[in-house]
């Protein structure tokens, strides 16, 4: 009895009997694990799986290896993939994302803040990270380890890589700590048990911490600023202002804000002001825009006191007529907290100045406010007078801008 046609076809055709070109095409769609597995199936697949162009995609996808780097290393694509995997294989799911973030950051800051780039340290060694784990008796997350295999933080210098903030009587600039300094600041005290500092400000002592275990109300690998509970009977009780849920999310989201211009570069420093595109208003030829920032080091949850700073940019269109030149006389603010309570403030000038605005000119200043609630908003207007038409006064709208405290948790310590 003859075999059914489909069974007969299957018995005469198998994957390894396909012509070379279509078989290579099929192999080109496999992930590196499956490509390695093919090496152990039979001699022909072993030979074809070693076809060097097949490994180019994996080198570029997982290790970001360029043609130029390949030529410089004078190795085959497979050899590069294999040697890199033997060194960084445990980080393969994180490496490309973090390497791209570091590369983007270095390229962006290299043109704007070269002094900051020069403060970055070379990569940490695998044995250095293992030694720190043995010292603190806690496992470091692989995304954290991976980042430090690329750059081991920075030197303790100013300005810090993780952003600055400056007010008239307050200054903060956070460094990204190297692994040894971070290990030296590892916490085991009540309220900060098993927390590793990621950043440090020389001026304020402020740090962002990463929880290495789920204790005292924290989630494992959560990143936060500490805030002492001033009303608690135990001084160890803290509130955590959450800044990230993992190292990967925390670092890459920060880098994205920097390299996309979300955080302004001012005097060779990154300032962590956030601009809401809705916070822009134009009156005649004058545009007012606002960006804001929350300052955890000056805030508290118990008692409720939430401190914000805002940065105002006032700009006259470069196409305005010269006779539109004017001077700011006064300001009016309407300040509303989350309970609906309203305060009104009116006064001369801004931060003690009476700026003159002319076509194409920009005036910027910073100020601050506090709320007894976790959020609030401000709006108002400036009053200007024309320098050409002395008796002409007009108001310029200050757009409404919102300030919101980040999510926080109360410690169970």
How do residues 51-109 score in pLDDT, each as one tens digit?
A: 999 999 999 999 999 999 999 999 999 999 999 999 999 999 999 999 999 999 999 99
Per-residue pLDDT averaged across 130-155, rounded? 98
Domain holding 126, by residue range, is 95-260
CATH of the domain at 353: 2.60.40.1470
Is 247 within the bounds of a domain? yes
Helix (H) / strand (E) element for 143: namely helix 142-150
Query: Do residue 383 and residue 248 come from a single domain?
Result: no
Is 310 within the bounds of a domain? yes
Contact 306, 370 (CB under 8 A): yes
Residue 9: pLDDT over 50: no
Cis check: omega of the bond before 47, within 30 degrees of 0 = no
User: 35: how many CB neighbours lie within 10 A of its CB?
Assistant: 23
Query: Do residue 202 and residue 312 come from a single domain?
Result: no
Is 206 within the bounds of a domain? yes
What was the pLDDT predicted at 6?
A: 53
Query: Do residue 239 and residue 294 come from a single domain?
Result: no
Across 7-16, 219-228, 230-239, least confident range? 7-16
Is 285 within the bounds of a domain? yes
Distance, CA of 154 to CA of 296 (rounded, Å): 23
- If DSSP codes are grouped into helix, strand and coil, which group holds residue 266? strand
Is 11 within the bounds of a domain? no
Query: Do residue 76 and residue 109 come from a single domain?
Result: no
Across 33-37, 71-75, 341-345, 350-354, least confident range? 33-37
Number of domains in the chain: 3
Query: Do residue 255 and residue 110 come from a single domain?
Result: yes
∠ CA 196-198-200, nearest 5°, is: 115
The alpha-carbon radius of gyration of the chain (Å, integer) is 29
Query: Do residue 24 and residue 105 come from a single domain?
Result: no
Per-residue pLDDT averaged across 322-330, rounded? 96
Burial class (CB in 10 A: 0-12, 13-18, 19+), 78: buried
Among the three residues 210, 229, 260, which one is the final residue of a domain in this structure? 260
Is 139 within the bounds of a domain? yes
What was the pLDDT predicted at 371?
A: 97
CATH of the domain at 129: 3.40.1580.10
User: 59: how many CB neighbours lie within 10 A of its CB?
Assistant: 25
Query: Do residue 145 and residue 234 come from a single domain?
Result: yes
Per-residue pLDDT averaged across 30-52, rounded? 86
Query: Do residue 129 and residue 237 come from a single domain?
Result: yes
User: What are φ and ψ of residue 9, in 5° steps?
Assistant: -65, -40
Query: Do residue 111 and residue 242 come from a single domain?
Result: yes
Query: Do residue 200 and residue 305 come from a single domain?
Result: no
∠ CA 196-202-207, nearest 5°, is: 30
Half-sphere exposure of 400 (CA within 13 A, CB side): 7
Query: Do residue 389 and residue 290 come from a single domain?
Result: yes
Helix (H) / strand (E) element for 378: namely strand 375-386
Residue 7: pLDDT over 70: no
């Amino acid at each position: 009895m003859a075999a059914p046609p489909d069974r007969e076809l299957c018995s005469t055709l198998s994957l390894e009997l396909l012509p070379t070109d279509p078989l290579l095409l099929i192999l080109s769609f496999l992930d590196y694990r499956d490509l390695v597995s093919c090496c152990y199936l039979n001699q022909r697949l072993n030979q074809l799986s070693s076809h060097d162009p097949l490994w180019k995609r994996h080198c570029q996808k997982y290790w970001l290896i360029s043609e130029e780097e390949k030529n410089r290393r004078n190795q085959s694509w497979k050899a590069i993939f294999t040697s890199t995997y033997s060194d960084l294989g445990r980080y393969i799911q994180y490496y490309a994302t973090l390497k791209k973030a570091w590369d983007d950051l270095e390229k962006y800051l290299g043109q704007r803040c070269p002094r900051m780039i020069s403060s970055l340290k070379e990569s940490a060694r695998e044995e250095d990270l293992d030694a720190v784990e043995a010292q603190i008796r806690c496992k470091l997350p692989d995304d954290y380890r991976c980042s430090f295999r690329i750059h081991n933080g920075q030197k303790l210098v100013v300005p810090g890589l993780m952003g600055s903030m400056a007010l008239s009587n307050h200054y903060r600039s956070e460094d990204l700590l190297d692994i040894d300094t971070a290990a030296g600041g590892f916490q085991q005290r009540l309220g900060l048990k098993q927390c590793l500092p990621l950043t440090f400000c020389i001026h304020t002592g402020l740090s962002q911490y990463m929880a290495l275990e789920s204790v005292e109300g924290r989630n494992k690998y959560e990143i936060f600023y500490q805030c002492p509970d001033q009303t608690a009977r135990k001084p160890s009780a803290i509130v955590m202002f959450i800044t990230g849920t993992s190292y990967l999310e925390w670092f890459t989201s920060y880098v994205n804000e920097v390299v996309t211009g979300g955080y302004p570069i001012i005097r060779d420093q990154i300032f962590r002001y956030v601009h809401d595109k809705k916070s822009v208003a134009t009156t005649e030829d004058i545009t007012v825009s606002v960006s804001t920032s929350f300052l955890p080091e000056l805030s508290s949850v118990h008692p409720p006191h939430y401190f914000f700073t805002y940065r105002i940019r006032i700009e006259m269109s470069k196409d305005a007529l010269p006779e539109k030149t004017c001077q700011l006389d006064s300001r009016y603010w309407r300040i509303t907290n989350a309970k609906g309570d309203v305060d009104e403030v009116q006064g001369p000038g801004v931060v003690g100045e009476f700026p003159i605005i002319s076509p194409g000119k920009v005036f910027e200043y910073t100020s601050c406010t506090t709320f007894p609630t976790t959020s609030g908003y401000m709006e108002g207007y400036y009053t200007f007078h024309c320098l050409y038409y002395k008796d002409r006064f007009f108001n310029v709208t200050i757009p409404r801008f919102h300030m919101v405290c980040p999510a926080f948790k109360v410690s169970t310590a």
